[in-house]
Amino acid sequence: MGQFEGEHKKSKRLRFVAYRSIVSWCWGQLGARIRVVIPACAVLRIRQDFPDPDGQYVGFLPSGQPRLPLD
């Protein structure tokens, strides 16, 4: 695994942790199939702090839609 690929995975993981943290802080612990829309200001800040090198983001997936693995 090259350094670029390692940084890509690290940013992806940090975004995931940041999203979970903001959800936990705002709404408490939610169940596996319960989804909420994160405020745009929080999403933009998380993406700014932990950017995807290609600028590719999944966005909101309602419950019941398949999720991509975190690797």
Considering the domain boundaries, does residue 38 fall inside one? yes
pLDDT at 43: 95
pTM over 0.85: no
Considering the domain boundaries, does residue 3 fall inside one? no
C-alpha separations of 39 from 26, 36, 52, 55, 64 in Å: 10, 9, 19, 19, 21
- For the record, the structure tokens of 64 come out as 């019941």
Helix-strand-coil percent breakdown of the chain, rounded to 5?
A: 50, 0, 50
pLDDT at 1: 54
pLDDT at 44: 96
Measured distance CA(69)–CA(71) in Å, rounded: 5
pLDDT at 17: 96
Counting the structural domains of the chain, the total is 1
Considering the domain boundaries, does residue 4 fall inside one? no
Considering the domain boundaries, does residue 6 fall inside one? no
